[in-house]
Amino acid sequence: MAFSPALTQLIDALRVLPGVGAKSAQRMAFHLLQRERQGGRHLATTLEHAIATVRHCSECRMFTEGERCEICANERRDPALVCVVESPADVMAIEQNTDYRGRYFVLMGKLSPLDGVGPEELGLGILRERLAAGTVEELILAMGATVEGEATAQYVGDLARQNGARISRIAHGVPVGGELEYVDAGTLSQAFSGRRPV
Amino acid sequence: MAFSPALTQLIDALRVLPGVGAKSAQRMAFHLLQRERQGGRHLATTLEHAIATVRHCSECRMFTEGERCEICANERRDPALVCVVESPADVMAIEQNTDYRGRYFVLMGKLSPLDGVGPEELGLGILRERLAAGTVEELILAMGATVEGEATAQYVGDLARQNGARISRIAHGVPVGGELEYVDAGTLSQAFSGRRPV
């Protein structure tokens, strides 16, 4: 005895979602069929549409439906300043919380040789071209402070150095509102080595 | 600045899934577009197909593509014995772990007036008809031992009593392999009041 074919297929297909295992997939399938048929139909259409139309911006690799994303197409954003981030969510976070007016380059991941993610997968060929064109004056490294993030920053930094761009790194240290005693050792040591005269 | 329209719509549409909030929906959308386009396309097709074809069995309300589910269509399953459960997953659990050879009735939920789930939403009209037809000799109540489960069992039990069917309830007590000292008070008290001569 198993679920009917269409239901079994739906449960299997849902497991493509990150963090969704057998039990959650089953719960999702029941929920969609029992209470959210309209929402489910909408999800199917939207998903198909997004997969068919969303691609990478030819300049920064951000997700977009056009040839270039909103930011790269905006002439008022400074092309001499490029901030390199790991994911589209990072672009959103920077846009919403800072007054940064330069452009971006979205890696869509970080170097991770064990997972088969090398420079090619991160689109670093495109970044190299942008750097070689000579318009980029400063490259801001804004990867996360993880082991892979550091390795990626190192690699991208070398690339920029070879092409004569200035390189900077966003500051790592004690978070604003954070108590010193609860900050971990690595962060505290970064905060000290990165101290600035006031 | 926001994500491109198709991406924004996809993130919104994913929130129809149970337990998926803004952050998870975003992570799912990125994952599908970045690494699982084929799986995503397959999910869209499968979801559309399931919503279009899966319906409730006319006798037991189990999800099925046919008029009747596999179990109700099986002449060798005893129609005089009906087990009432809350969800399709319960049917699977009973089928895989017991040698029960009767039929089922799937409530697809439990009584919960605050959420607008009354007898009508649980398809109890269909169960009443089955009981009134006089073929059901014993109704086995197999709801979970929660407050709503108890209330639902009470209601369904009354319905069966009015129609002259015998009623039984699956045993609640100490789980097999469980240590007495870790069992909660309610379960232990049920285990005592439900003791049987050996």
Mean pLDDT lowest for which of A78-92, A96-110, B106-120, B170-184?
B170-184
**Which one, of B48, B62, B36, lies nearest residue A32 by Cα?**
B48
Beta pairing partners, A55: A64
pLDDT per position as a tens digit, A97-107: 899 999 999 99
Q: Which residue of A has its CA nearest to B1?
A: A95
Residue A168 parent element (H or E)? strand A166-169
Contact in structure between A123 and A107 (CB atoms under 8 Å):
yes
Q: What is the mean pLDDT of residues B14-28?
A: 94
pLDDT per position as a tens digit, A49-97: 999 999 999 999 999 999 999 999 999 999 999 999 999 999 999 998 8
pLDDT per position as a tens digit, B66-93: 999 999 999 999 999 999 999 999 999 9
CA distance B17 to chain A (A): 6
8-state DSSP, A80: E
Which structural domain, as residue segments, surrounds residue A124?
Answer: 63-169
Q: Which residue of B has its CA nearest to A122?
A: B34
pLDDT at B180 > cutoff 90: no
- Tell whether A140 is covered by a domain: yes
Mean pLDDT of chain B: 91
Shared domain check, B104 and B45: no
- Tell whether A90 is covered by a domain: yes
Residues of A in contact with B10 (CB under 8 A): 46-47, 49-50, 54
Contact B17 A32 (CB under 8 A): yes
Longest dimension (CA), chain B: 73
- Tell whether A181 is covered by a domain: no
Residue found by looking up tokens 């971990």 in the block: A184
Shared domain check, B81 and B165: yes
Give the separation between CA A108 and CA A71, rounded to whole angstroms: 17
Give the separation between CA B139 and CA B131, rounded to whole angstroms: 9
Contact A17 B10 (CB under 8 A): no
- Tell whether B13 is covered by a domain: yes
- Count up the domains in chain B and report the number: 2
- Tell whether B186 is covered by a domain: no
Cα dihedral value A141, A145, A151, A152, nearest 10: -40
N-term to C-term CA, chain B: 73
Shared domain check, B89 and B152: yes
pLDDT per position as a tens digit, A180-189: 888 888 888 8
Confidence tier at B2 by pLDDT (50, 70, 90): confident
Contact A71 B1 (CB under 8 A): yes
Environment class of B22 (CB within 10 Å of its CB; exposed 0-12, middle 13-18, buried 19+): exposed
Environment class of A158 (CB within 10 Å of its CB; exposed 0-12, middle 13-18, buried 19+): exposed
pLDDT at position B142, please?
93
Residues of B in contact with A70 (CB under 8 A): 1, 4
- Tell whether A117 is covered by a domain: yes
Contact A40 B31 (CB under 8 A): no
Between the CA of residue B141 and those of A12, B111, B162, what are the distances in Å?
A: 30, 14, 15
Residues of A in contact with B70 (CB under 8 A): 1, 4
pLDDT at position B103, please?
95
CATH code of B10's domain: 1.10.8.420
pLDDT at position B23, please?
92
Shared domain check, B81 and B14: no
Shared domain check, B96 and B41: no
Give the separation between CA B44 and CA B36, rounded to whole angstroms: 12
**Interstrand relation of B55-56 and B63-64 (parallel, antiparallel or unpaired):** antiparallel
pLDDT at position B75, please?
93
Shared domain check, B137 and B89: yes
Contact B14 A44 (CB under 8 A): no
Contact A37 B28 (CB under 8 A): no
Q: Which residue of B has its CA nearest to A22?
A: B89
Beta pairing partners, A139: A82, A167
pLDDT per position as a tens digit, A133-156: 988 999 999 998 888 999 999 999
Q: What is the mean pLDDT of residues B3-16?
A: 95
CATH code of A137's domain: 3.40.1360.10
**Which one, of A23, A21, A105, lies nearest residue A58 by Cα?**
A105
Give the separation between CA B83 and CA B136, rounded to whole angstroms: 10
- Tell whether B68 is covered by a domain: no
- Tell whether B103 is covered by a domain: yes
Residue found by looking up tokens 């977009």 in the block: A64
Candidates B51, B76, B90, B94, partner chain A, best to mutate (most A CBs within 10 A): B51
Environment class of A41 (CB within 10 Å of its CB; exposed 0-12, middle 13-18, buried 19+): middle
Confidence tier at B39 by pLDDT (50, 70, 90): very high
Query: Tell me, what's the ipTM?
Result: 0.86
Contact B92 A53 (CB under 8 A): no
Give the separation between CA A171 and CA A180, rounded to whole angstroms: 17
Closest CB to B16 among A34, A40, A108? A40
Give the separation between CA B13 and CA B1, rounded to whole angstroms: 20
Give the separation between CA B192 and CA A124, rounded to whole angstroms: 69
Write the CB contacts of B113 (distance below 8 Å, at least 6 apart in sequence): none
Residues of B in contact with A47 (CB under 8 A): 10, 13, 32, 40-41, 43-44, 47
